[in-house]
């Protein structure tokens, strides 16, 4: 029996990186998955990986449905949740992985870049929660939001990203308190750098001070997304039944001291 047998999991940002790794991981443990992303091609690739993982580990019982949409639009959250419930009859876990970063010095931050990061990382997380929580209350399910070490410490040249990830932690704790009397768990994971398109495509700010940047890069290599996906799978499973309102650092010690 897999930890996710019979469970329905909605994963945003599922077309690549951490979202893809989460979709594959929970499917390998028996979950039925609905993946959400703006990239239809990426979602199709993830669906193929999910099918392969399901065959290898759970006899081919899991599957992933695909929902293309921009999580910064509240309608995407409503439509994606409705699609998951229509396809599978319920929703047990929401994993908010969708995110992006634009690095820039203070003077170089544009309103468009500010809005993009806050809309995807923060607004998207909130409105996905708003759409999903009524169904998660019915299933006694849970939410795992993906924050960042940048939600726990200052990061040079990333004011908008910092604001969005501090906000994700704030949303997590606020909703955890709002629903503390209800049969639901709401938590967050805070990774540091991972080998994903978000970091491999990272564009340095103008004239960066690498000594400043070294303070939050840590002493260990960047994580593979599968390593962080394993933490998320644990937190979203019944093994973490007593964990609520928590922020689990999965950052190789970056925020340890």
| Number of domains the chain contains | 1
Q: Average pLDDT, stretch 207-227?
A: 85
Residues acting as catalytic residues: 161
Residue 216 inside a domain? The answer is: yes
Residue 257 inside a domain? The answer is: no
**At 188, which CATH number?**
3.40.50.720
Candidates 8, 25, 84; CA nearest to 226 is 25
Residue 103 inside a domain? The answer is: yes
Residue 47: is it exposed, middle or buried by C-beta count within 10 angstroms (0-12/13-18/19+)? buried
pLDDT of residue 216: 76
What value, to the nearest 5°, has the Cα angle with vertex 231 and ends 91 and 251? 130
CA pair distance 174, 212, nearest whole angstrom: 32
Higher pLDDT, 158 or 204: 158
pTM of the model: 0.94
Q: Considering Cα of 184, then 96, then 86, then 240, what sign does the dihedral take? A: negative
Q: Average pLDDT, stretch 239-245?
A: 98
Residue 131 inside a domain? The answer is: yes
Lowest mean pLDDT among 122-131, 135-144, 164-173, 215-224: 215-224
Residue 201 inside a domain? The answer is: yes
Residue 70 inside a domain? The answer is: yes
Residue 160 inside a domain? The answer is: yes
Residue 14 inside a domain? The answer is: yes
Q: Above 80 in pLDDT, residue 1? A: no
Residue range(s) defining the domain that contains residue 158: 8-250
Greatest mean pLDDT range, 57-61, 181-185, 220-224:
181-185
């Amino acid at each position: 029996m897999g930890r996710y047998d019979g469970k329905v999991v909605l994963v945003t940002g599922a077309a690549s990186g951490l979202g893809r790794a989460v979709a594959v991981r929970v499917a390998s443990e028996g979950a039925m998955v609905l993946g959400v992303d703006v990239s239809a091609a990426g979602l199709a690739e993830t669906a193929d990986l999910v099918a392969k993982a399901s065959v290898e580990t759970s006899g081919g019982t899991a599957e992933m449905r695909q929902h293309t949409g921009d999580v910064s639009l509240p309608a995407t959250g409503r439509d994606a949740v409705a699609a998951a419930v229509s396809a599978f009859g319920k929703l047990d876990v929401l994993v908010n992985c969708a995110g992006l970063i634009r690095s820039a010095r203070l003077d170089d931050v544009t309103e468009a870049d500010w809005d993009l990061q806050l809309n995807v990382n923060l607004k998207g997380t909130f409105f996905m929660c708003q759409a999903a929580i009524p169904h998660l209350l019915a299933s006694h399910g849970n939410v795992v939001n993906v924050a960042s070490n940048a939600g726990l410490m200052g990061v040079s040249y990333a004011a908008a990203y910092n604001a969005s990830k501090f906000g994700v932690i704030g949303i997590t704790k606020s909703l955890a308190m709002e629903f503390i009397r209800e049969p639901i768990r709401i938590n967050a994971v805070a990774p540091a750098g991972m080998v994903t398109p978000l970091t491999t495509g990272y564009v340095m700010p103008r004239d960066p001070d690498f000594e400043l940047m070294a303070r939050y890069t840590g002493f260990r290599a960047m994580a593979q997304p599968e390593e962080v996906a394993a933490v998320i799978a644990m937190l979203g499973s019944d093994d973490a039944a007593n964990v609520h309102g928590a922020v689990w650092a999965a950052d190789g010690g970056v925020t340890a001291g």
